[in-house]
Amino acid sequence: MERTSGAPLTQGDAATDRDADEVSLSVVVPTYNEEDHVEACLESVFRACASTDAVGTYEVILVDSNSTDATVELAADYPVTVLQIPDEDLCTPAAGRYVGTHHADGDALLFVDGDMEVAADWLPEAVAHLREEDVAAVDGHLDEVPENATLVERESVRGVALYDADALAAVGGFDPYLESLEDVQLGLELNAAGYRLLRVPTVSARHPGSDVITETLRRWRNGYSRGNGQAIRRSLSSPQLVAKHVYRMRFRLVIGGWLGLGVLSLATGVGVLPWLLGSALGFRKIASERDGVVDAAGYVLYKLTLLVGLVLGLLERPTSPEQFPLERVERVREAGVHQGIPSDLQF
């Protein structure tokens, strides 16, 4: 599919034809204030795409959610298309994926978070599996591969993931209005449509770590905790999807139920001591499975914020993805397709 430079973004821009020998690839990189990571991210993308014969031509599309740092300026120095969502009320990680999908021309789409670095040896393996029957998406492991890991089917893929463009179009792709869990929601919808999602026993990307408390506060501040409730609210027409969401969050629901029991005990004066003892034993078990008391406290805090976010998200009325105003997306830079590493790129 050819695109006229500067043409407005419209629905249905994803290409649908697949070459039997190699894949045409669109790499979508959503960013928000990633000036510390975006250069390493983009360079890893170019290395990965140029290192395998499985990729014929490829394009790199960075979609920025109105960053306030130098992310866009740094990205514009690379031969990538840079799009920016200028309105705060439209900026979510899911929106970046949605916008990138509707600008992409590839018959496969690789989504790479702006703070990740793609592992080059994962991509050819992912492309090979994506060609298998009924496979809609492939991911790998972040940072390291667990011992005895094997190729497995998953209900969703995450982080750095390769999708078939036709499969995305078949289920409508990412929901741009979800604050988080957009990959989980999409995965469940793909499964329900009869597609398979695979995780290969290979590192797909490197991801900078952060302590659980800092990450919890960041996610709460950015509104990501509401994604749980938003996803369930969107899935109400499908009891199967709702049941899968509830199963995924069973531990935080147990914590919420236990806290509710504690409030009831304090209010009635009945069973307070057993509740306190049970709480202490439960926390001790969590601490033994985490990296000490501080990490365990952060983990419980994280689950509690998700529980509060669940309630808040359930109260929000879903907005149809088709209502997302693609025409408001700004083109900062337009780039074409590549084969190999562009000659003007030095690293």
Q: Under a CB-based contact definition with an 8 Å cutoff, are residues 135 and 200 in contact?
A: no
Number of neighbouring beta carbons within 10 Å of residue 299: 20
Q: Under a CB-based contact definition with an 8 Å cutoff, are residues 315 and 229 in contact?
A: yes
Q: What average pLDDT score do residues 325-332 get? A: 94
User: How large a percentage of the chain has pLDDT more than 90?
Assistant: 58
Amino acid at 286: I
Q: Between 215 and 255, whose confidence is greater?
A: 255
Tokens of 45: 């993308």
Predicted confidence (pLDDT) at residue 19 exceeds the cutoff of 70: no
Which residue is associated with the tokens 């991509």? Answer: 123
Rounded to an integer, what distance in angstroms lies between the CA atom of residue 141 and that of residue 207?
A: 10
Q: What is the pLDDT of residue 283?
A: 87
Q: What average pLDDT score do residues 135-162 get? A: 94
In terms of Cβ atoms closer than 10 Å to its own Cβ (0-12, 13-18, 19+), residue 201 is middle
Q: What is the pLDDT of residue 163?
A: 98
Instruction: Read off the pLDDT of residues 212-253 as tens digits, 9 standing for 90 and up.
Output: 556 556 565 666 678 888 999 999 999 999 999 888 888 878
Secondary structure of the chain in the HEC alphabet? Answer: CCCCCCCCCCCCCCCCCCCCCCEEEEEEEEECCCCCCHHHHHHHHHHHHHCCCCEEEEEEEEEECCCCCCHHHHHCCCCCEEEECCCHHHCCHHHHHHHHHHHCCCCEEEECCCCCEECCCHHHHHHHHHCCCCEEEEEEEECCCCCCCCCEEECCCCCCEEEEHHHHHHHCCCCCCCCCCHHHHHHHHHHHCCCEEEEEEEEEEECCCCCHHHHHHHHHHCCHHHHHHHHHHHCCCCHHHHHHHHHHCHHHHHHHHHHHHHHHHHHHCCCHHHHHHHHHHHHHHHHHHCCHHHHHHHHHHHHHHHHHHHHHHHCCCCCCHHHCCHHHCEEEECCCCECCCCCCCCC
Q: What is the pLDDT of residue 250?
A: 86
CA separation, residue 242 to residues 63, 202, 223, 234, 317 (Å) = 30, 31, 21, 9, 16
The pLDDT-based confidence of 130 (bands split at 50, 70, 90) is very high
Amino acid at 100: G
The residue among 283, 338, 294 whose CA lies nearest residue 79 is: 338
Query: Which of 43-57, 248-262, 299-313 comes out lowest in average pLDDT?
Result: 299-313
Q: What average pLDDT score do residues 27-56 get? A: 93
Q: What average pLDDT score do residues 156-164 get? A: 93
Q: What average pLDDT score do residues 136-148 get? A: 94
Mean pLDDT, the chain, integer = 86
Q: What is the pLDDT of residue 219?
A: 60
Predicted confidence (pLDDT) at residue 276 exceeds the cutoff of 80: yes
Rounded to an integer, what distance in angstroms lies between the CA atom of residue 34 and that of residue 277?
A: 44
Q: What is the pLDDT of residue 214?
A: 62
Rounded to 5°, the CA angle 168-13-333 comes to 115
Rounded to an integer, what distance in angstroms lies between the CA atom of residue 63 and that of residue 192?
A: 28
Amino acid at 181: L
Q: Between 287 and 136, whose confidence is greater?
A: 136
Q: What is the pLDDT of residue 14?
A: 35
Q: What is the pLDDT of residue 21?
A: 62
CA separation, residue 309 to residues 277, 290, 314, 321 (Å) = 28, 23, 8, 21
Instruction: Read off the pLDDT of residues 96-107 as tens digits, 9 standing for 90 and up.
Output: 999 999 999 999
Rounded to an integer, what distance in angstroms lies between the CA atom of residue 159 and that of residue 142?
A: 8
Rounded to an integer, what distance in angstroms lies between the CA atom of residue 165 and that of residue 11?
A: 13
Residues 6+ apart with CB under 8 A from 194: 134
Q: Under a CB-based contact definition with an 8 Å cutoff, are residues 205 and 112 in contact?
A: yes
Q: What average pLDDT score do residues 203-211 get? A: 78
